[in-house]
Amino acid sequence: MAESQESAPREEYYGGYSRFELELEFVQCLANPHYLNHLATQKLLDNPEFVAYLDYLQYFKEPKYVKYLVYPGPTLRALQLLQQEQFRKDILSPQLVMRMVEEGLKASERDRP
């Protein structure tokens, strides 16, 4: 029995957190339009490798992962929008950021009991 436990791959931890925990934390940050703007101003959204990483994170759409998201609607919407080259350029606009913030506030007011 000990033999099978040794052959199982060990999950790697980075700073005490699993890869999934780090990806979950990052993907949830994408629900914040100001953070999206920050990524754009740092030119990360112009980097093909970073864009590929955002595509990889689409796995959070699956029901077995979406349940971990605190704000699934805005988070998944941001992941979807980030797949569009035009949006990755447009998010540099402070007007777009403010419109997204306002839409998010309106949505959260509608969701209150």
pLDDT digits (tens, 9 = 90+) for 61-96: 999 999 999 999 999 999 999 999 999 999 999 999
Residue 28 near residue 75 (C-beta atoms within 8 A): yes
Give the chain's mean pLDDT.
88
Give the residue with greater pLDDT, 25 vs 3. Answer: 25
Element (H, E) at 14: strand 13-14
**pLDDT value for 1:** 46
pLDDT digits (tens, 9 = 90+) for 87-107: 999 999 999 999 999 887 666
Question: In terms of C-beta density within 10 A (0-12 exposed, 13-18 middle, 19 or more buried), how is residue 78 classed?
Answer: buried
Q: Does domain 2-111 have CATH number 1.10.10.10?
A: no
d(CA 16, CA 64): 23
Residue 87: which of 49, 51, 42 has the closest Cα?
51
- pTM over 0.85, yes/no: no
Cα-to-chain-centroid distance, residue 98: 19
Give the domain ranges of the chain: 2-111
